[in-house]
Amino acid sequence: MMLVSGFDGFLLKQDTTTIELSEVDAFVHSIPSEFREGYIAKASQFEKDIYTVLNVNLVFDYLEKSDLLTQVAADQSIVENDFKDKIDQNFIDKLGYTVDEFNQILKAFDRKKQYVVGFQHYIYNQIDDAAADELAEEYYKVNRVKYIKPKSMDLSQISFSKEKFSKEKVTEILNYIGTDSKERFTEMAVAHSSDPSVKSNKGELGTYKENLYKGHVGKEIFMIDELGMHSHILQDKENYYLVYINGINPQDTIPFDDVKVELRDSIKQNMADKKFNNIMSSISNKEIEVNIEQLATITERYLDNTINDTQ
């Protein structure tokens, strides 16, 4: 960065792109008034924000020089917003603007910001869907393991605390339920389960994926391949378990067509981001000139603002 004094009309300059003081005023005005106080004192944040304004101007100037403004406007909806009803009167009074003057400044800055966002969408829309689909299919094939749906089961379960139930007692309950009596299973779940959730779910756990049911009990459950009442008692250190299998969804692979659009959009977005970042690198690699006198003015200007706000 090169520091330069004695320049009029701009705060920062990079190649032929400048930031005018009024544009920083517009940016600061966009900060909610409750956070504006003391803003200038946050030097690092203020510097980042000034570079944000510079980047907006760099992109807008690039579009103008490249005759892309018309194409972006045709591709995206660029509108002229009016800010008269949103202007902070105290803010502009301190800076010496009329409502009409500052409204025009806000309109111009908002238009530039719309073009920056619109240009990013424009780049995205210029990427060929067919080319992105080919890349998406390649990605799908290489990363097929990501698209495997694990086995899942619709489960009902009764938990018996070992402090209260012996295995013999649980065996009696298992025999009472029988081979396939869901009604008796629910009856015993409500009567005996140590799981607090039984009051609301009556032992119905819902659907569990194999990779989410942890522990050796889960492993045993997912080895079951028959619907209905499981004929064996399962256990861990604290509990015995009776399990009723309501449904089984075997492991499956999600077809490419089911994820094609999502993958295509992600690939197009990555390509668009890369292209936009490359353009930004190419237009922002020149030395930055800073108008020291203007910078001192802007510091006093906003410090003044915050001091007056607190009086």
Instruction: Report the 10 Å Cβ neighbour count for 16.
Output: 9
Looking at the structure, do residues 54 and 156 belong to the same domain, yes or no? no
Looking at the structure, do residues 14 and 123 belong to the same domain, yes or no? yes
pLDDT at residue number 309: 41
- Domain end point (choices 203, 219, 250): 250
Q: Is residue 109 part of a domain?
A: yes
pLDDT at residue number 214: 75
Looking at the structure, do residues 234 and 125 belong to the same domain, yes or no? no
Q: Is residue 138 part of a domain?
A: no
Q: Is residue 8 part of a domain?
A: yes
Q: Is residue 135 part of a domain?
A: no
- b/e sequence 23-41, b meaning 16+ C-beta within 10 Å: bbbbbbbeeeeeebbebbe
pLDDT at residue number 71: 94
pLDDT at residue number 34: 77
The residue type at 145:
V
Q: Is residue 259 part of a domain?
A: no
User: DSSP 3-state assignment of 162?
Assistant: coil
Residues of the domain holding 155: 151-250
Per-residue pLDDT tens digits for 124-174:
999 999 999 999 999 999 999 999 999 999 999 999 999 999 999 999 999
146: DSSP letter: G
pLDDT at residue number 9: 64
Bridge partners of 153?
Answer: 208, 248
Bridge partners of 243?
Answer: 157
Look at the pTM and tell me if it is higher than 0.85: no
Bridge partners of 229?
Answer: 244
Q: Which residue has the tokens 């780049």?
A: 123
Bridge partners of 148?
Answer: 253
Looking at the structure, do residues 245 and 276 belong to the same domain, yes or no? no
Q: Is residue 229 part of a domain?
A: yes
Q: What is the number of domains present in the chain? A: 2
pLDDT at residue number 40: 67
Bridge partners of 289?
Answer: 2, 13
Rg, C-alpha atoms of the chain: 33
pLDDT at residue number 303: 60
Looking at the structure, do residues 67 and 107 belong to the same domain, yes or no? yes
65: DSSP letter: H
Taking 70 as the pLDDT cut, the residues of the chain under it are: 1-9, 37-38, 40-41, 43, 296-297, 299-300, 302-311
Looking at the structure, do residues 8 and 82 belong to the same domain, yes or no? yes
- How far apart, in whole angstroms, are the C-alpha atoms of residue 19 and residue 37? 23
- How far apart, in whole angstroms, are the C-alpha atoms of residue 250 and residue 247? 10
pLDDT at residue number 306: 45
